[in-house]
Amino acid sequence: MEEQKMDAKTSLKGRSFLTLKDFTPEEIGYFLDLAAKLKADKKKGITGNSLKGKNIALLFEKPSTRTRCSFTIGCVDEGAHPEYLGKDDIQLGHKESVEDTARVLGRMFDGIEFRGFLHENVEKLAKYSGVPVWNGLTDDYHPTQILADFLTLREQFGEIKGLNFVFAGDGRNNMSNSLMIGCSKMGLNFTCLAPKSLWPNEELVKQCEEYAKESGAKIRFTEDVKEAVEGADCIYTDVWASMGEEDKAAERIALLRPYQVNKEMLEMTGKDTTVVMHCLPAVKGHEITEDVFEHYADVIFDEAENRMHTIKAVMVATLGEY
């Protein structure tokens, strides 16, 4: 086991973090172990110098609370300098190509975080910059959130392998995609509860089914609420219309109303140990009722805090000396 951890630690140096598809279960487990250690240290008032002397570019096309704060605090805690670059601060993909911006930033910075729309842009940054690039969210994937979710589940249940995990909502969005990848890699049974028109694309499903063969996970898709949540250890939801999809809000509300996480849904689990999670921000009264949100608020805000610890772990593991 220790040898596997050392192999994972060594294999992560200098790598970008774009999607969990790129990482083995052992490497994902190492991120989680390191995050738990860094979290415990921070609670004791201990910070580090693993990123001392490093300069980190934080590129944001989309606004953010948790992602921006997590990268900023993670940098400062470990001795790095974070430089925030919003959509009006640089010419990314407008007056200057993404490739050229990447080559400029790679000469000035030691690592780059990107939060934006097109996944191909974060891939170009990684290809052309020559430094580790971390995906803070794209339209397709949100991998740092999954690490925070899994750390939270470990804190709740001790072990995550074998848990019954249900995602309720838009099954095609970046959260559902990334959760399905993460669960299938790490051995959690993943259920997508959504109308069939909002199930994930077939190519990604096939990839995840291959991961599941290795981990022992089960993947299923259903429109039936009771069938989905019976025996669930975790029910997870997200906003019904993501950033950039505001024009579809009315259509999504009508389509997804039957999949709202509410008291009735929780009663269908048949368990009193089920937890509810949300990546935030939440539109209470839509994807989740206020009473359910508040009942599970401690878990949801542990999950939000864990963005900071897991993002710090990603930077330390790929760029730092630890």
Binding-site residue ranges for L-ornithine: 174, 238, 242-243
Give me the phi and psi of 275, to 5 degrees please: -115, 155
Residues classed as catalytic:
115, 142, 145, 238, 279, 307
H/E stretch holding 219 reads strand 219-222
Q: For residue 35, what are the contacts with CB-CB under 8 A and spacing of at least 6? A: 147, 151, 306, 309, 310, 312, 313
Question: What own/partner pairs with CB < 8 Å and gap ≥ 24 does 97-105 have?
Answer: 98/124, 98/125, 98/128, 99/124, 99/127, 99/128, 101/125, 102/127, 102/128, 102/129, 103/128, 103/129, 103/130, 105/57, 105/129, 105/131
Q: Which two tokens stand for residue 150?
A: 């899994």
Q: Which two tokens stand for residue 6?
A: 């050392």
Residue 182, SS3 per DSSP: helix
Q: Give CA separation, 43 vs 69, 176, 298, 305, in Å.
A: 17, 31, 17, 12
As separate numbers, helices (DSSP H) first and strands (DSSP E) second, the chain gives: 13, 9
Task: Find, among 130, 120, 113, 129, the residue nearest to 74 by Cα.
Answer: 113
Q: Which two tokens stand for residue 162?
A: 């074998």
| Binding site as annotated, residues for carbamoyl phosphate | 64-67, 91, 115, 142-145, 279-280, 307
Residue 190, SS3 per DSSP: strand
CB 115 within 8 A of CB 59: yes
How many Å apart are CA 217 and CA 210, to the nearest integer? 10
